[in-house]
């Protein structure tokens, strides 16, 4: 015989019910046929021999009913009625099937049915919308990639690479005339200029002094006239000297400029080994400051009259 | 097990020892039953080579069961190895100095770039086929100067602050770029609208946990779509010593190390983002540098101090990209034709093999 009260007495409060889930504030019922999910005297499917629920399967709602007459046949205990897809019609069906049943069960069934239809509608809507696809990340792989990235960054040496590329572009002239450093062209041009000038000088000097006649005094060669002599010397000297001069001209120039910059008009410290006033001839082609050296010595050839 | 007493003297003969270690060994020898057998082995071997300071050849550190002793032995082993290495290096250095000019050239150390597995799709600059392809691919219009790039930047749904700021900064970097909010629109519907308004590029920045982590770059009329993983995003104020905001001038573009066919395609993809005529007055340069399949993006302002030196100052955001997939047509995740997809198991197995 079915003694609902006894059953409830046992499973509800005193002893164990395997469908019961206890929490701090409430008790829940995990039974699949439970109408509400709570563990109550009136909503426990085990403790009520006349019971009804709504359950949903693949979008279709069914009304399940249990009556005391079938309590002895567990296999046939629940009667399953398919509800129509139309909301109102389904409600009418529920009413029709549960006519003369306790108000509580009827009401709760309808409530449950409403909730189920609502969530089914929501599911259908979401299906149509775009959904975020969640892709699982493997932590190992991510860490590996992160480390590889760091090492690649170090190996890349970005700043250097960028600077190199920019300088390359500058050299190739992609920037046109914006910047005023024509780079190597400038240096090359400078060297070329040096060579040209040296050649010119050589040629000119040779041409000039060949065949020229100069009248030079017999005695009393004063120091101040040395320069002329040295010009003459120059004619005779081999071209080696000149070449040496030209090669060192670059240095000399720089040093001359230095001197000029510092504004010192001292004796030009002639830069290379004893090439002193001889260079003045070469220098004539460009701006220079000539300094005359005066040494007071008594001319040897003079004899004193006593 | 027998505890054989190995005479102390022999042990000390066998190895150069600090006294501490001998003591430790002795104490542990007595207390340690398990090691008895191993000790005898050691002892025997050491007897056979009394003068050798090195370990006997068939001895391996892993045979000692005692963890502390094993550790000590291993440390010593390492030290000896290091010493040997140092002596070899010094010798080599002396020889090199002695020989002077005749010394053999220094050996080039092996790097990953040196050891890279040769990729058969590496582009030869004079390759005819490549040239022909490039003339007829989707970027031809851009490279022939017919179209000007117009970029639409957007994000995934509900972007957070960081992503939004990143989008804004990107928009300043790329000229002629517009940022639009997504608001739940489907990309497939966005694309025809973009085409109708003459956009050439669509950039979608995907966000995860408040941080941008993906980039979909879609060339518009019907161009390839590239999907990248974005990492290490640094916004402007997070960059140390950054310069002022970029101006409106068109920047120059530097593309480094895109060597294979795939790399070439991606390189062109990036190049077509920027207008063809860089304004050198602006002195801004955007760099895409590929290293080991990671593409580093930097945005700098440069100034030439003299013809041999240039100074650069970083403006703009920086980020790294890793290509995940390249699709032939516009963005279509279901039916698109994938030209290249990152397959981790195949591609990550060899450390010397890179795709870009």
* Cβ-defined contact of A181 to B111 (cutoff 8 Å): no
- Between B24 and B160, whose confidence is greater? B160
Task: Check residue A44 and give its pLDDT.
Answer: 92
Please report which confidence band the pLDDT of residue B24 belongs to, taking 50, 70 and 90 as the band edges: very low
Q: Find the range with the poorest average confidence among A81-90, A284-293, B241-250, B324-333.
A: A284-293
Q: Which of A293-302, B15-24, B118-127 has the highest mean pLDDT?
A: B118-127
Q: Which residues of A touch B (CB under 8 A)?
A: 130, 132, 141, 144-146, 148-149, 151-153, 155-156, 158-159, 161-163, 165-167, 169-170, 175-176, 178-179, 181-184, 186
pLDDT at A170: 86
Highest mean pLDDT, choosing among A169-178, A272-281, A291-300, B176-185? B176-185
Looking at chain A, the whole-number percentage of residues with pLDDT higher than 70 is 65
B291 close contact with A: CB closer than 8 A? yes
Set of chain A residues whose Cβ sits within 8 Å of the Cβ of B281: 178
Phi, psi angles (nearest 5°) of residue A258:
-60, -50
CB contact under 8 A, B292 and A175: no
Task: Provide, as residue numbers in chain A, all residues whose Cβ is less than 8 Å from the Cβ of B227.
Answer: none
Between residues A302 and B229, which one has the greater pLDDT?
A: B229
- Rounded CA-CA distance B63/B44 in Å is 15
Report the candidate in B218, B224, B227 with the shortest Cα–Cα distance to residue B199.
Answer: B218
Query: Residue B285: which of A159, A162, A184 has the nearest Cβ?
Result: A162
Which residues of A are less than 8 Å from B111 in CB distance? Answer: 155
Which distant-in-sequence residues (6+ apart) come within 8 Å of A53 by Cβ? Answer: A33, A34, A35, A45, A63, A64, A109, A112
A259 has pLDDT over 50: no
Closest approach of chain B CAs to the CA of A249, in angstroms? 25
pLDDT over 90 (residue A120): yes
| Nearest-CB residue to A163 (from B111, B281, B310) | B310
Identify all chain A residues contacting B258, using CB atoms and an 8 Å cutoff: none
Place B57 in a pLDDT band, splitting at 50, 70 and 90: low
What's the rounded mean pLDDT across residues B271-296?
90
B338 at A interface, C-beta within 8 A = no
Beta-carbon contacts of residue B328 (< 8 Å; ≥ 6 apart) = B224, B336, B337, B338, B339
Q: Give residue B2's pLDDT.
A: 56
What residues contact residue A34 under an 8 Å CB cut-off, 6+ apart?
A19, A43, A44, A45, A53
Nearest CA in chain A to B112: A155
pLDDT at B222: 80
How many helical (H) and strand (E) elements, i.e. helices and strands, does chain B have?
10, 11
Is residue A147's pLDDT more than 50?
yes
- Is residue B304 less than 8 Å (CB to CB) from chain A? yes
pTM of the predicted model as reported, rounded to 2 decimal places: 0.61
The yes-or-no verdict on residue A238 having pLDDT over 70 is no
Which of B158, B310, B314, B321 to probe by mutation at the A interface, max A CB count within 10 Å? B310
CA distance B212 to A92: 53
Nearest to A166 among B232, B281, B285 (CB): B285
The answer to whether residues B220 and B195 touch, using CB atoms and an 8 Å cutoff, is yes
What integer pLDDT is reported at residue A76 of this predicted model?
93
Residue A107 has pLDDT above 90, yes or no: yes
Selecting from A141, A145, A165 the residue whose C-beta is nearest the C-beta of B254 gives A165
Residue in A141, A149, A155, A168 to test binding to B, most B beta-carbons within 10 Å: A149
**What backbone phi and psi angles, to 5 degrees, belong to B217?**
-115, 115
The reply to whether residue A162 touches residue B307, judged by beta carbons under 8 angstroms, is no
- Interface touch B294/A166, C-beta < 8 Å: no
Residue B16 has a pLDDT of 45
Is the Cβ pair A178, B184 closer than 8 Å? no
* pLDDT on residue B49: 39
- A175–B291: do the CB atoms touch at under 8 Å? no
Residues B268-278: pLDDT tens digits?
889 888 988 88
Choose between B311 and A248: higher pLDDT: B311
Report the gap between the CA of A181 and the closest CA in chain B (Å): 6
Task: Specify the higher pLDDT residue, A269 or A77.
Answer: A77
Q: Is residue B42's pLDDT more than 50? A: no
User: Which site among A166, A170, A173 would you substitute to test the B interface, given the most B Cβ atoms closer than 10 Å to its Cβ?
Assistant: A166
In this prediction, residues B78-82 reach a mean pLDDT of 96
Name the residue among B156, B293, B300 with its Cβ closest to that of A162. B300
The mean of the pLDDT values for chain A is 77
E strand residue ranges, B112-219: 151-155, 177-179, 201-208, 211-219
> Mean of the pLDDT values across residues B97-104?
78
Average pLDDT value for residue range B267-294: 90
Name the residue of chain B whose CA is nearest to A149's CA: B294
A187-201, A215-229, B105-119, B303-317: least confident range: A215-229
Pairing state of beta strands B252-256 and B284-291?
parallel
pLDDT confidence of residue A269: 43
Q: Is the pLDDT of residue A31 over 90?
A: yes
Q: Do A162 and B280 touch (CB under 8 A)?
A: no
Q: B304 and A161: CB-CB below 8 Å? A: no
Distance from the B306 Cα atom to the nearest Cα atom in chain A, whole angstroms: 7
User: A200 falls in which pLDDT band (50, 70, 90)?
Assistant: low
Task: Check if B353 contacts A (Cβ < 8 Å).
Answer: no
Inform me whether the pLDDT recorded for B232 exceeds 60.
yes
Whether A149 sits inside 8 A of B232 (CB atoms) is yes
A29-38, A82-91, A227-236, A239-248, range with the lowest pLDDT: A239-248
**Alpha carbon separation from B303 to A160, A167, B311, B316 (Å, rounded):** 14, 11, 5, 16
More confident residue, B32 or A22: A22
Q: pLDDT for A51-104, tens place per residue?
A: 999 999 999 999 999 999 999 999 999 999 999 999 999 999 999 999 999 999
The most confident of A176-180, A252-256, A287-291, B282-286, by mean pLDDT: B282-286
Task: Tell me: pLDDT of B38 over 70.
Answer: no
CB pairs below 8 Å between A and B: how many? 80
Residue of A129, A160, A161 best to disrupt the B interface, most CBs of B under 10 A? A161
Residue A149 C-alpha, separation from nearest chain B C-alpha, in angstroms: 7
What's the pLDDT at A209? 59
For A136-159, what is the mean pLDDT? 92
Using pLDDT thresholds of 50, 70 and 90, give the confidence band for residue A8. Answer: very high
Helix (H) or strand (E) holding A155: helix A139-156
Residue A86 has what pLDDT? 94
- Mean residue pLDDT across chain B: 80
The residue among B337 and A55 whose pLDDT is bigger is: A55
Of B339, B337, B330, give the one whose Cα is nearest residue B188. Answer: B330
Q: Phi, psi at residue B206, to the nearest 5°?
A: -90, 145
Q: Which of A156, A164, A185 to mutate to test the interface with B (most CBs of B within 10 A)?
A: A156
């Amino acid at each position: 015989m079915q003694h609902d009260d006894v059953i409830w007495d046992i499973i509800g409060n005193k002893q164990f019910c395997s469908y019961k889930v206890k929490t701090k504030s409430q008790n829940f019922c995990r039974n699949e046929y439970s109408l509400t999910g709570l563990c109550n005297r009136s909503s426990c499917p085990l403790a009520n021999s006349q019971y009804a629920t709504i359950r949903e399967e693949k979008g279709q709602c069914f009304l399940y009913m249990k009556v005391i007459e079938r309590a002895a046949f567990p296999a046939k205990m629940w009667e399953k009625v398919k509800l129509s897809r139309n909301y109102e019609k389904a409600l009418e069906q529920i009413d029709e099937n549960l006519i003369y049943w306790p108000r509580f069960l009827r009401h709760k069934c309808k409530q449950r049915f409403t909730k189920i239809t609502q969530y089914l509608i929501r599911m259908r809507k979401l299906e149509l919308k775009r959904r975020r696809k969640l892709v699982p990340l493997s932590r190992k792989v991510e860490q590996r990639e992160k480390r590889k990235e760091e090492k690649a960054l170090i190996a890349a040496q970005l700043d250097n690479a960028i600077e190199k590329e920019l300088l390359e572009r500058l050299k190739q002239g992609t920037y046109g005339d914006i910047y005023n450093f024509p780079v190597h062209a400038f240096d090359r041009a400078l060297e070329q200029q040096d060579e040209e000038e040296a050649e010119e000088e050589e040629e000119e000097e040779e041409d000039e002094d060949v065949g020229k006649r100069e009248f030079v005094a017999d005695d009393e060669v004063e120091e101040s006239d040395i320069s002329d002599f040295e010009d003459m010397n120059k004619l005779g000297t081999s071209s080696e000297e000149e070449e040496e001069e030209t090669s060192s001209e670059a240095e000399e120039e720089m040093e001359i400029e230095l001197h000029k910059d510092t504004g010192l008009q001292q004796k030009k410290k002639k830069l290379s080994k004893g090439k002193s006033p001889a260079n003045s001839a070469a220098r004539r082609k460009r701006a220079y400051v000539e300094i005359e050296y005066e040494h007071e010595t008594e001319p040897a050839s003079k004899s004193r009259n006593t | 097990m027998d505890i054989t007493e190995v005479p102390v003297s022999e042990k000390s003969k066998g190895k150069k020892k600090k006294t501490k270690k001998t003591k430790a060994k002795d104490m542990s020898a007595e207390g340690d039953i398990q090691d008895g057998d191993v000790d005898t082995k050691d002892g025997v071997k050491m007897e056979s080579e009394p003068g050798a300071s090195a370990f006997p050849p068939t001895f391996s550190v892993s045979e000692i069961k005692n963890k502390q002793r094993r550790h000590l032995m291993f440390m010593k082993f390492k030290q000896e190895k290091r010493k040997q290495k140092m002596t070899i290096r010094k010798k080599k250095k002396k020889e090199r100095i002695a020989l002077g000019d005749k010394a053999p050239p220094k050996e080039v150390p092996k790097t990953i770039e040196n050891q890279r597995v040769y990729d058969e799709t590496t582009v030869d600059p004079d390759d005819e086929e490549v040239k022909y392809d490039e003339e007829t691919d989707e970027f031809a219009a851009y490279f022939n100067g017919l179209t000007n790039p117009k970029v639409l930047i957007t994000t995934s749904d509900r972007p957070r602050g960081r992503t939004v700021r990143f989008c804004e900064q990107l928009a300043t970097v790329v000229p002629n770029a517009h940022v639009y909010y997504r608001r739940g629109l489907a990309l497939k519907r966005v694309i025809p609208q973009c085409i109708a308004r003459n956009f050439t590029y669509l950039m979608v920045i995907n966000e995860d946990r408040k941080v941008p982590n993906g980039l979909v770059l879609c060339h518009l009329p019907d161009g390839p779509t590239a999907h990248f993983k974005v990492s290490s995003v640094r916004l402007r104020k997070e960059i140390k010593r950054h310069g002022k905001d970029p101006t409106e001038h068109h920047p120059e573009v530097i593309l480094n190390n895109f060597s294979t066919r795939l790399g070439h395609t991606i390189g062109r993809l990036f190049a077509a983002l920027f207008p063809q005529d860089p304004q050198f007055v602006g002195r801004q340069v955007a760099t895409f540098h590929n290293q080991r399949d990671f593409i580093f993006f930097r945005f700098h302002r440069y100034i030439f101090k003299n013809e041999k030196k240039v100074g650069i100052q970083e403006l703009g955001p920086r980020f790294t990209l890793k290509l995940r997939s390249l699709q032939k047509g516009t963005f279509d995740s279901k039916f698109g034709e994938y030209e290249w997809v990152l397959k981790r198991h195949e591609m990550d197995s060899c450390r010397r093999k890179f795709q870009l």
